[in-house]
Structure 1
Amino acid sequence: MRSNLRVRRSPNHSTNHSTHRSRRAARAAAAAVIAGALTLTACSSDNKDKGNDGTGKESSSGSGGDTVTLPKLNGASLEIAAVWTGDEQANFKKVLAEFEKRTGAKVTFVPAQDPIINFLGSKIAGGKPPDVAMLPQPGAIKQAVDKKWAKPIGAEAQAELSKNYSQGWQDIGKVDGKQYGVYYKAANKSLIWYNTKVFENAGAKEPKTWQDLLSTAQTIYDSGVTPFSVAGADGWPLTDWFENVYLSQAGPEKYDQLAQHKIKWTDPSVKQALTTLAQIWGKKDFVAGGAKGALQTEFPASVTQTFTGGDQPKSAMVYEGDFVQVNIAETKAKVGTGAKVFPFPTVGDTAPVVSGGDAAVILKDSKAAQALATFLASPDAATIQAKLGGYLSPNKNVPNSAYPNAVQQKIAKALIAAGDDFRFDMSDQTPQAFGGTPGKGEWKDLQDFLKNPTDVAGTQAKLEKDAAAAYGSGS
């Protein structure tokens, strides 16, 4: 099995045959790691807290145990905005507390609404922008640069990035060759989590292909449990479903073309992906609550209803990224035993792995803001949040042992081992008006498709109309 785990490159990257051969080899190598890494069984407690060297000491490739040097900022104050809530926000505040302790600066977390670009626009219009914002889309970074809101990162932050990040993770934070984003958080968005008890009772096995997935779903249904929980009330998980099917089926080159709107959403490859999705979305017995119920199910509930109710939960499986673990923690299920995970199955010739992430972008250039960006680019910051769980860093010098369980350690190891060979979330690359706004664009169009999965042509037409408008306006 090979994996399309690759970052989106600029349209001008080389496409010669030797490059394609090396990328195929890289994908194959990455897939070997991922396939092994995601055979996720519980680890013995003897090895649970050991680093990569097996000695029990924290090891990090190349960091040498160094801590990042930060300036003294006594009396300085700054704000950082993000849409994070709950445990994610609470854990990030602990990272900010460490920055305060080391520098003497005071940092205020500003809760932002989605889409964050609109939130920032209102703040800037009112003359009170935050100093730093966590932007979840490369498209949003480009918008912030185009609007002249974003400031380039300085030499210290760039040095940390160069030391700790693969070139691919650096590149997606660039606009016109200049570094604006520091990707503090990553996500593996090609995972399907399942209720172990339900699978055992049904005699179901982890599927490797799309056809296997459909067969597994039927086996689960025959055992008396609805196979899938779909977070239809939130549009973004639906875009992730589509992207995994599309990447595996159409391939990485088409994926890039669609992400950049170089091919239209009326393309036959989109028709094929939507038709494939309809094999699950269009079968009401396969989706908890049917389409109507799914459209009322928000993402957190889609997870918790899969792991509550003993061996008779509302659903047996839920698709989404590694961050699902935060929601699983709210149930009695334990990751690695009661809750397990398998890679998104192969739909075409290759297995997809789509990544996402959040980047720190400076809006008010100051010594304090640059120092915070430097800190967030360091393994010091990411290691604090890694230990708290529900978080994945693209920083290659975060010790693997920092992650709190075997599942998270293996997902993190696979991400780092893949290096530059991955694809970034497609909707996050598009203009926010199309791929990142609740109730509009791709989010709304796929919600409508979930409601009526027979209308493939109509869905394509709506997607193309909305994409053309968003790309045309650049918003």
Structure 2
Amino acid sequence: MRSSSRTTTRRAARSAAALLAGALTLSLAACGGDDDKDSPTEGASGGTETTATVRLPKLDGESLEVAAVWTGPEQANFKKVLAEFEKRTGAKVTFVPAQDPIINFLGSKIAGGQPPDVAMLPQPGAIRQAVEKGWAKPLGAEAQAELKKNFSQGWQDIGTVDGKPYGVYYKAANKSLIWYNTQVFENAGAEEPKTWEDLLSTAQTIYDSGVTPFSVGGADGWTLTDWFENVYLSQAGPEKYDQLAKHEIKWTDPSVKEALTTLAQIWGKQDYLAGGASGALQTEFPASVTQTFTGGDQPKAGMVYEGDFVQVNIAETDAKVGTDAKVFPFPSVGDTAPVVSGGDAAVILEDSKAAQALATFLASPDAATIQAGLGGYLSPNKNVDPKAYPNAVQQEMAKALIAAGDDFRFDMSDQAPQAFGGTPGKGEWKALQDFLKNPKDIAGTQRRLEADAAAAYGN
């Protein structure tokens, strides 16, 4: 039975990866800038005009607070979604900027008697902790109905704890992408790699042309966990990935050693990283993107790894997605290319008619369609029309995400307790930052990871 399960899982992952690769190829061939004929029109809120598909109550005089760690364009775009909710209901919604780790931020707000009504939680582990602490409130009947109508079972399950739905996964992320400066690739005569060995060869070609191959946002430890997860999923396979995510195998397992050894083939080459390891550790994620797409054909780096949301940061430069900036799927390290996903879920902390109405709205196609039209966003809502997205790249990414159904693996660190997988300066974030600094210390990195994981998981 186990062998059959492994074969089925691998086939599913392989088909999802192939679908993603094909979608990206088609989208980039079709995308030529901002003149996409299928681009949505903008309404008064700055997003896509939508026809209401969900009924919302009148909430005149009601007020809500929504907390999230989002900043910059991501925050601004979400506020336009909240503005539409205000317009339809009469409620007043205030966005509360949160800090990582959001569980600690929420803890301080709750201790002070001022919890936000709704929080956007970026980790299933954080949802679980909020439930265990008695903070999270289950979704009501209306929100559950929208959830069942619009989301695959896999996305419903990620927001469920002990059989009760608590989270609406409003935002998804495809975290198996590498973005590149097309001028750099053309000048170097480099091609999009399909395998890890190809990626190493491409990196050397870029380096030989006089440009540093990779930009790494190592100041944000979560980017490093994403690197690891893609390598590990492809190399060790989905069964091992699930086991490590649940801490059913230890971080001292040989499969972890193999993945770290593979990562060191890039992280261990100072000349391959913009600013070397020390520079990477001082580079925050947004800067890791912008420095790849500024400076014409002589940027600080030719490639940057991260998810579809990179587009938000590319938009802050003069580069255009599909022409100056292109993307390829994270190359296969083992038999199959990885498909790692992430996301942010709306969780109710203060149960009220208004909070339940907002959760219902965020579970509907109406809310997601607005933010889809603003770019830099993907929704796991299967009833959002792909034409809502502003260009062919995002339209095909959205189609691939929905077509993959439940055949994906959620970000491993996001499944972990926050103390291990989601806290700056601690756990996996800190261990991988230390490993980036000293990629030769594989055994020591494994020991630290295991010690921190055992403490966080309580085993």
Provide the rounded CA distance (Å) in 1 between the counterparts of 2:111 and 2:52: 41
Aligned equivalents of 1:119, 1:46: Cα separation in 2: 39
**Partner residue in 2 for 1:94:** 80
Q: Residue 214 of structure 1: which of 177, 200, 216 is its match?
A: 200
Matched residue, 2:93 = 107
Aligned to 1:5: none
- In the aligned structure 2, how far is the partner of 1:298 from the partner of 1:359? 24
Q: Give the 3 Å change call, closer, same or farther, for CA 46–74 of structure 1 in structure 2.
A: closer
Q: Percent identity?
A: 84
CA distance in 1, matches of 2:314, 2:34: 24
Tell me which residue corresponds to 2:137.
151
- TM-superposed deviation, 1:74: 1.1
Aligned residues of 2:10 and 2:238 also touching (Cα < 8 A)? no
- Please, which of 6, 18, 41 is the counterpart of residue 29 of structure 2? 41
For residues 185-238 of structure 1, the C-alpha deviation after alignment (integer angstroms, 9 at most, x for no partner) is 000001000000000000000000000000000000001000000111110000
Q: Secondary structure at the match of 2:29?
A: coil
Q: Distance in 2 between matches of 1:332 and 1:307?
A: 8
d(CA) in 2 for partners of 1:86, 1:135: 18
- Map 1:118-137 to 2 at 5 A: 118-137=104-123
Native 8 Å contact 2:17 2:336 kept in 1: no
Query: Where does the alignment leave 5 or more consecutive residues of structure 1 unmatched?
Result: 1-14, 53-63
Between the two proteins, the alignment pairs up a number of residues equal to 448
1:272 aligns with 2:258: yes
Alpha-carbon distance between aligned partners in 2 of 1:153 and 1:38, rounded to the nearest angstrom: 35
SS at 2:425 equivalent: coil
1:360-412 per-residue CA deviation (whole Å, 9 max, x = no partner) reads: 00001111000000000000000000001111100011110111111111111
What is the deviation of 1:28? 3.7
For 1:24 and 1:300, locate their aligned partners in 2 and report how far apart those are by CA, in whole Å. Answer: 34
The residue type equivalent to 2:187 in the other structure is: N
Q: d(CA) in 2 for partners of 1:296 and 1:142? A: 32
TM-score (norm 1): 0.92
Please say if 1:50 is aligned against 2:38: yes
Query: Does residue 225 in structure 1 map to residue 211 in structure 2?
Result: yes
What is the CA–CA distance in structure 2 between the aligned matches of 1:43 and 1:303, rounded to whole Å?
20
Q: Secondary structure at the match of 1:107?
A: strand
Report the residue type matching 1:284 in the other structure. Q
Query: Where does residue 7 of structure 1 map in the other structure?
Result: none
**Alpha-carbon shift at residue 288 of structure 1 (Å):** 0.8
Q: Which residue of structure 2 aligns with residue 58 of structure 1?
A: none
Distance in 2 between the 1:261 and 1:45 partners? 44
Q: Distance in 2 between matches of 1:73 and 1:107?
A: 11
Confirm whether residue 316 of structure 1 aligns to residue 316 of structure 2: no
Structure 1 residue 43, shift from structure 2 partner: 2.6
Pairing 1:212-361 to 2, within 5 Å after superposition: 212-361=198-347
Report the aligned-residue RMSD. Answer: 1.7
Write the letter of the residue equivalent to 2:455. A
Q: Could you list the per-position Cα deviations for residues 306-340 of structure 1 after superposition, in whole angstroms to 9, with x for gaps in the alignment?
A: 01111111100000000000110111110000000
Counterpart CA distance in 2 for 1:124 and 1:167 is: 31
Shift of 1:75: 1.0
CA distance in 1, matches of 2:52, 2:71: 31
8 Å Cα contact 1:80/1:131 also seen in 2: yes
Question: 2:366 aligns to what?
Answer: 380
1:44 and 1:434 map into 2 onto residues whose CA distance is 42
Task: State the match for 1:27 in structure 2.
Answer: 13
Query: Counterpart in 2 of 1:420?
Result: 406
3-state secondary structure, aligned to 2:335: coil
For 1:75 and 1:378, locate their aligned partners in 2 and report how far apart those are by CA, in whole Å: 23
In structure 2, the gaps of 5 or more residues are 41-49
SS in structure 2 opposite 1:288?
coil
SS at match of 1:184: strand
Equivalence for 1:441: 427
C-alpha contact (below 8 Å) 1:41/1:340 kept by paired residues: no
Correspondence for 2:442: 456
SS of equivalent to 1:41: helix
Kindly provide the amino acid, as one letter, of the partner of residue 203 in structure 2. A
Counterpart of 1:50 in structure 2: which amino acid?
D
Asked if structure 1 preserves the Cα contact closer than 8 Å seen for 2:13 and 2:338, the reply is no
What displacement does 1:24 show? 4.0
CA shift, 1:270, in A, is 0.4
Aligned residue among 372, 396, 416 for 1:410: 396
Q: CA deviation digits over 1:270-310, x for unaligned, max 9?
A: 00000000000000111111111111111111101101111
Cα distance, 1:283–1:369 mapped onto 2, change above 3 Å: same
Letter in 1 for 2:29: T
Amino acid at match of 2:393: V
Displacement after TM superposition at 1:472 (Å)? 1.3
- 2:189 paired with 1:177: no
Cα distance between partner residues in 1 of 2:8 and 2:57: 42
1:32 partner letter: A
Are residue 389 (structure 1) and residue 359 (structure 2) matched?
no
Is the Cα contact below 8 Å between 1:245 and 1:277 reproduced in 2?
A: yes
Measure the CA separation in 2 of the matches of 1:152 and 1:35.
37
The 2-side partners of 1:31 and 1:118 are apart by: 36
Structure 1 counterpart of 2:83, one-letter code: A
Q: 1:366 aligns with which of 323, 346, 352?
A: 352
Letter in 2 for 1:197: Q
SS of the residue aligned with 1:392? Answer: coil
Output the TM-score relative to the length of structure 2: 0.95
Mapped partners of 1:340, 1:45: distance in 2: 11
